[in-house]
Amino acid sequence: MSVARSMLKVNVPGVAVLAPVTSSEAEILSPKALQFIATIQRIFNPTRKTLLQKRVLRQQALDRGVLPDFLPETAFIRNDNNWRAAAPAPGLQDRRVEITGPVDRKMVINALNSGAYTFMADFEDSSAPTWENIISGQVNMRDAIRETITFTNPNGKKYELRKDGKLATLLVRPRGWHMLEKHVLVDGEPCSASIFDFALYFFHNAKELIKRGKGPYFYLPKMESHLEARLWNDIFNVAQDMLNVPRGTIRGTVLIETILAAYEMDEIIYELRDHSSGLNCGRWDYIFSFIKKLREHPQFVLPDRSDVSMTVPFMDAYVRLLIQTCHKRGVHAMGGMAAQIPIKNDVAANDAAMLKVRNDKLREVTAGHDGTWVAHPDLVKIALDIFNEHMPQPNQIHVRRDDVKVTATDLIDINFKGSITEKGIRDNIQIGLAYMESWLRGVGCVPIHNLMEDAATAEISRSQLWQWARHNARTAEGKTITGQYLLQILDEETDKIHQNLGAKYTSTKFEAAKNAFATNVTGEKYDDFLTTLLYDDIVSAVAKPRL
C-alpha cells in the first residue's frame, strides 16, 4: 500500500527539501530540526571538505610510495600510558553480541527483539540511501525509542516490541564523511549526509533516550585519520550545547575499517575520549581499504577474497593492536561481522556455516574482544553461547594484551598462501553485480551465496578485479588478467542472469549495474566508493529550491 507524499513547505531560511514526504516524515523535518541541521552544517561542512581533500593528498603520497606509518607528531599521545577514555555509558557496559542491519521498520523490530545486547541501526553500508529509506528510517528510530513502533506485513502478520524489558540498546550508524544528502540543501549546497543523519536523530531523540536511562549512541564509519574523529567530537560538543545536553552524554564507537585509521587508533580514541565507547574491527571494509589505498603497488596484490581470513598476518596484526589499544584506554574492543545466514533445506551446508560462526566467535573472545557482530537474529544465540562461556563478566577490558607488539610493517604484511582463480574472479563479478543491482533498487542489505552482504563486499569485489587487471596478475590456471578479460567475464555472467530471469530481466537494474561495474574493473578508472558512483541514480529530488 503506497503512502501519500507531498512537498514540504520549508520556512527555514536557506534550507530546501527537494523530495516529497509523508505526514509522519514531515513531523521529523520540523522547522526546529531543519534549523538545527543547518546550523551544524554551516559550522562544520567547510572542515569536512578540507578533510576530504586531505584524503586526496594522502592517496597521492601513497601512490608515490610513501607507505602508511605511525605519526611522529602524535607519538606523545601513544606513549602516554596515563590517559583513559570515558567509562562505559548506561546500556553499553555489556555488548557481547551486537546485531546490525538496515533501518526499515520490520528489521528494527526484529533486531531490538533478537536477544542481542545492542542493535546498530544502519543508515550507512546496509542501507541504500534513497530518500524514502533515509527519512522513513528516522521515523522508525523515533518510534523505536518511544517503544511505539509496530509493523504489519501485507499478509496480516503483525510485529511489535517485546514487553519483557530485554530490548537491545540502540546505536545508530550515520553515513560517512564522503556522502551527501542531495535531497536537502543548505544555502544551495547539498547537506553532508553524516551531519544530516546524526543531527536529525540527535535532535529528536537525545533527551528521550536520557529520560529512558540510555543515551544517544553512535557507530562512526569510514574514518581515515584522527582529525576526522576530532571533527565528530567537535560536532558532538556543539550539538549537546545547543540542546542543553551535558557534554559527554553522546558515545561513539569508531569502526576501524580503513588501513590508515589502523595507524591512528590511539589518536582516534584520544580525540573522542569524553565520547568514546571503543573501536570495532570493520573487517570487510578494512580489506577493501587495504586494496584501495595500496592499489598502485604490485607487492600488495591480494589473492581471492576467500583466502583473506582473519588469521592472515596483516589482519591478525590489526586485530591484536586494536584490542591492546582499546583496553589500554579503558574502552570496548568490538569484534567483526559474522555474515553467515541460516541455509534452509541443506542441513550439511547449514551446519558447516554455523561452525564457521562458532569458530570465528571463539577466535574473537579468546583474543580479548569484548563483543561481536552478527547479521541475522538466528546467529545471536550461537554468538552468545560462545561469549557467555568464555567471558562470564560484562566485558574483558581488564585483559591488557601487554604481550602485543605490532610494527608498521606488520599491518601491511601479506606473506601468506593464496591464489587468484577464475572462480574467485567470477565470484567477485557475481557479488558485485548482484549487490549493485539490489542497491540501485533501494535495497542495501542482500543475501548472496548464503552470506548477508552490504556495500563493503561489493567494494572488495570491484577493487580486487581492478587491482588484478592493473598489475596483470596471473590466475592459478595460468591466465593473465586484463581489463578486456574481466569485461568478457562480466558479459558472460550478465548473460547467465539474463537467461535465468528471461523476460523479468528488463524490470531489473542489472544492465545499469553492469554498466557501472564495467567502469571500475579494468585497472584504469577507479572511483573512491561505489556508493558515491551510484548515488545520483537513486536521487529523487523533484523540486527546484526556493531559498
Beta strands 217-220 and 276-281 are unpaired
* Rg of the chain, C-alpha, whole Å: 23
DSSP bridge pairs for 184:
17
Cβ-proximal residues to 307 (8 Å cutoff; 6+ apart), any chain: 416, 417, 418, 419
- Three-state DSSP at 6 gives strand
Q: How far apart are CA 373 and CA 432, in angstroms?
A: 23
Counting beta carbons within 10 angstroms of the beta carbon of residue 150, is it exposed (0 to 12), middle (13 to 18) or buried (19 or more)? Answer: exposed
Q: What backbone torsions phi and psi does residue 502 show, to the nearest 5 degrees? A: 60, -130
Element of type H or E holding 220: strand 217-220
Catalytic residue among 48, 173, 329, 470: 173
* Backbone conformation region of residue 54, classed left if phi is above 0, alpha if psi is from -120 to 50, else beta: alpha
Per the listing, cell 551510484 goes with 534
Torsion of CA 179, 183, 189, 192, to 10 degrees: -30
Q: What backbone torsions phi and psi does residue 138 show, to the nearest 5 degrees? A: -65, -40
Q: How far apart are CA 217 and CA 215, in angstroms?
A: 6
CA 14, 16, 22: angle at the middle one, nearest 5? 145
Give first-to-last CA distance, the chain, whole Å: 34
Cell digits for 296? 598502485
Is 464 within 8 Å of 428 (Cβ atoms)?
yes
CA-wise closest residue to 369 among 379, 354, 355, 383 = 383
Question: 3-state secondary structure string, 301-335?
Answer: CCCCHHHCCCCCHHHHHHHHHHHHHHHHCCCCEEE
CA 289, 290, 296: angle at the middle one, nearest 5? 105
CA-wise closest residue to 333 among 292, 374, 365 = 365
Catalytic residue among 122, 370, 427, 454: 454
Is 149 within 8 Å of 129 (Cβ atoms)?
no
Is 173 noted as a catalytic residue in this protein?
yes
Is 401 noted as a catalytic residue in this protein?
no
Cβ-proximal residues to 261 (8 Å cutoff; 6+ apart), any chain: 223, 224, 225, 254, 268
Per the listing, cell 527483539 goes with 113
Cell digits for 287? 580489506
Dmax over CA atoms of the chain, in Å, equals 66
Q: How far apart are CA 474 and CA 297, in angstroms?
A: 16
3-state percent breakdown (helix, strand, coil) of the chain, nearest 5? 50, 15, 40
Q: Which residues are catalytic, by number?
A: 173, 454
